[in-house]
């Protein structure tokens, strides 16, 4: 790409083809090796987040091994708190089950009366229809649960590798950096260190952006439940926000208790439906507006390619990719900025501020 006084004029270059080949080859490698790369990518992310604290502890005389272990324990306690929150949701839902079951039986009888009155359906045909519907739904639900359990077992195995990888990356970080320097010519080593420092800063910005996302989602959930009149609106709203960290499953589990309480409290099916609509609307905003805006603003990515990174991550790595591919795109932009011939890709991924700065420099 050449920049003239009249504006931006695109010209095909070998560098553009080079980046296309790199992206296609890298995407194929990431898909085929996802069992290795997913826990490794999470470990790198956690290592970059823990690195400044680990370095701070080491400067104050703590042994490196014990500093890493202490930080991993603190991180594990935080994860345990989230899992405890999830389990408490299940237990609270279990205490409400007898009342919910009575409501379901009452609704079942009312629906049967409605079918008999409006469509002249006999009680025998009505019971047969409802029983068939329940059996089909149950079989589909069992299949869904089996698939979820199978994928969860695989995820647990991969999850167990993350603290091991994180420990080893932090322990051997100097050796890894020196090895990375040796892979490149001497003239490029300073540039590699600069990219590495910017990458750590990028991950920090990603974490800050995620914190903003959870805060906004929690506030929106809470306001919606409060206006609906659901008890403990702010508690349920922020629990749902925190549990969205667990893709798909988290929001479903978090919504069970407010749906149940809304049904029992107001004795109407419209209030549980309203709760579902509130969570669905906020989740839509989170996925398509809030997350791209908050995270892309912190990472200097434009919203379009943030959304593309989320979708592409979901295609290649599933739910994990939807989280990880956004900072990956930001790191790719950093590398392109520091690499000869990468200005076109950097310009393409950057936000409006980046574009204006590029114009000014040109």
pLDDT at 50 over 80: yes
Collect all residues with Cβ–Cβ distance below 8 Å to 301 and sequence separation of at least 6. 295, 309, 326, 329, 330, 333, 349, 350, 351
What pLDDT does 8 receive? 45
In a domain, 190, yes or no: yes
Distance from chain centroid for Cα 235: 21
What pLDDT does 354 receive? 43
pLDDT confidence bin for 357, thresholds 50/70/90: very low
pLDDT confidence bin for 2, thresholds 50/70/90: very low
The proportion of the chain whose per-residue pLDDT surpasses 70, expressed as a percent, equals 72
Of the given ranges (1-5, 133-137, 257-261, 348-352), which has the lowest mean pLDDT? 1-5
Count of CA atoms in the C-beta half-sphere (13 A) of 182: 6
Domain count, the chain: 1
Long-range contacts (CB closer than 8 Å, 24 or more residues apart) made by 63-72: 64/170, 64/171, 65/171, 68/166, 68/167, 68/170, 68/171, 69/167, 72/163, 72/166, 72/167
What pLDDT does 358 receive? 43
Q: For residues 332 and 185, which has the higher predicted lDDT (pLDDT)?
A: 332
For 212-242, the pLDDT digits (tens) are: 888 898 899 989 999 988 887 888 888 888 7
- Crossing angle for the helix pair 173-182 and 123-171, nearest 10 degrees? 80
Contact 217, 245 (CB under 8 A): no
What pLDDT does 79 receive? 80
For 6-16, the pLDDT digits (tens) are: 444 444 444 66
Give 87-150 as a DSSP string: HHHHHHHHHHHHHHHHHHHHHHHHHHHHHHHHH---HHHHHHHHHHHHHHHHHHHHHHHHHHHH
Q: CA torsion sign, 9 to 14 to 17 to 23?
A: negative
In a domain, 26, yes or no: yes
pLDDT at 68 over 90: yes
What pLDDT does 167 receive? 93
Count of CA atoms in the C-beta half-sphere (13 A) of 225: 33
Contact 207, 335 (CB under 8 A): no
Report d(CA 82, CA 5) in Å as an integer. 55
For 288-323, the pLDDT digits (tens) are: 788 777 776 667 777 788 788 888 888 888 777 877
What pLDDT does 257 receive? 79
Tokens of 254: 């978090």
Question: In the predicted model, what is the mean pLDDT of residues 336-349?
Answer: 76
Report d(CA 54, CA 63) in Å as an integer. 10
Rg of the chain over Cα atoms, rounded to whole angstroms, equals 26
Among 93, 91, 86, 88, CA closest to 261 = 93
Domain extent, residue 106, equals 12-361
In a domain, 6, yes or no: no
Of the given ranges (21-25, 96-100, 345-349), which has the lowest mean pLDDT? 96-100
pLDDT at 359 over 50: no
pLDDT at 344 over 80: no
Tokens of 289: 């507006």
pLDDT mean across residues, the chain: 75
Distance from chain centroid for Cα 29: 22
Report d(CA 339, CA 351) in Å as an integer. 19
In a domain, 7, yes or no: no
Residue for token pair 């409060």: 226
For 148-196, the pLDDT digits (tens) are: 545 545 556 667 788 899 999 999 988 888 887 777 666 666 777 777 7
pLDDT at 97 over 70: no
């Amino acid at each position: 790409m050449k920049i003239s006084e009249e504006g931006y004029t695109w010209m095909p270059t070998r560098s553009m083809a080079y980046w296309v080949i790199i992206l296609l080859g890298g995407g194929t490698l990431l898909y085929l090796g996802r069992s290795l790369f997913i826990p490794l990518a999470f470990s790198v992310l956690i290592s970059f987040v823990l690195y400044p604290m680990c370095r701070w502890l080491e400067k104050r005389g703590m042994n490196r091994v014990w500093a890493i272990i202490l930080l991993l324990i603190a991180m594990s306690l935080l994860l345990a708190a989230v899992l405890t929150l999830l389990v408490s949701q299940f237990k609270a839902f279990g205490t409400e089950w007898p009342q919910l079951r009575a409501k379901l039986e009452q609704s079942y009888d009312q629906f049967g009366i409605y079918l008999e009155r409006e469509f002249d359906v006999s009680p025998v045909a009505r019971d047969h229809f409802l029983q068939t519907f329940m059996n089909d739904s149950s079989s589909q639900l069992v299949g869904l649960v089996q698939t979820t359990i199978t994928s969860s077992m695989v995820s647990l195995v991969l999850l167990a590798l993350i603290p091991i990888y994180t420990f080893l990356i932090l322990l051997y970080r100097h050796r890894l950096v020196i090895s990375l320097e040796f892979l490149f010519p001497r003239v490029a080593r300073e540039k590699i260190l600069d990219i590495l420092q910017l990458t750590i800063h990028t991950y920090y910005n990603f974490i800050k952006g995620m914190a903003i996302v959870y805060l906004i989602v929690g506030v929106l959930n809470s306001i919606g439940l409060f206006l609906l009149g659901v008890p403990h609106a702010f508690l349920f709203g922020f629990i749902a926000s925190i549990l969205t960290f667990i893709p798909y499953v988290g929001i479903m589990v978090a919504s069970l208790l407010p749906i149940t309480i809304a049904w029992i409290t107001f004795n109407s099916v419209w209030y549980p439906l309203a709760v579902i609509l509130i969570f669905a609307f906020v989740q839509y905003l989170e996925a398509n507006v809030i997350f791209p805006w908050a995270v892309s603003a912190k990472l200097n990515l434009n919203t379009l390619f943030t959304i593309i990174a989320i979708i592409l991550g979901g295609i290649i790595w599933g739910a994990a990719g939807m989280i990880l591919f956004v900072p990956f795109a930001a790191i790719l932009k950093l590398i392109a900025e520091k690499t000869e011939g990468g200005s076109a890709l950097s310009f393409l991924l950057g936000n409006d501020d980046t574009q204006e700065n590029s114009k000014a420099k040109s």
